[in-house]
Amino acid sequence: MERELPNQEQNYQESEEENQLGVWFDPNEAVLEGTYLDEISAYRARRVWTETFETNFLLEPNYDFFFNVVHNQDGSKFTLRCDFSSACGRFAFWRLTRNQAPEVQYLIETAHIPMNDERRAEMVLAPELQNDPLVLGGPGAGGDRKPPTVSQFIRRIRRFWR
């Protein structure tokens, strides 16, 4: 995840002004928070987070983790808050925040982006994905590079064993 949440003792409005869009965590409270510009993105992220936790960590909603979606006073930002309550939930949180599950971390950070062909540009232009790409090349990654044929693959294996 990108950074920790501010301490709970601080005024909520002050911490809200500091927060930018993205996913944050509070290690003391075992809380993940995602901040989004629209309500649809927050609820889409909630659905993806739920599926991700159920599938990858075998957590149960409303037992291991709880969600709450709130918006600021002017309705310009929506915050998805996930509290981990059980020991299994806290262990999953620990794995997420200690880079022990990078594939789950990626799913959580990109959960608000719709996954269809029409919205592909949003995924490519998302600010959190502007860093180095996770997959640099290979078949299907675009460009002129084609996957090797079976005969080329067999030639490579034969060359290796010589």
Q: 113-143 pLDDT, tens per residue?
A: 776 666 556 555 655 555 544 443 444 444 5
Is 49 within 8 Å of 82 (Cβ atoms)? yes
Which pLDDT score, from 0 to 100, does residue 12 have?
Answer: 43
Lowest mean pLDDT of 23-32, 54-63, 150-159, name the range. 150-159
Which pLDDT score, from 0 to 100, does residue 154 have?
Answer: 75
Is 32 within 8 Å of 96 (Cβ atoms)? yes
Q: Which residues contact 51 (CB under 8 A, 6 or more apart)?
A: none
> What gap in Å lies between CA 57 and CA 65, rounded to an integer?
11
Whether the predicted model's global pTM rises above the 0.75 cut: no
Which pLDDT score, from 0 to 100, does residue 145 have?
Answer: 54
Angle between helices 87-97 and 102-109 (to 10 degrees): 90
Which pLDDT score, from 0 to 100, does residue 158 have?
Answer: 77
Q: List the one residue out of 82, 76, 84 whose CA is nearest residue 33.
A: 82
Write the pLDDT tens digit of every residue in 38-53: 888 899 999 999 999 9
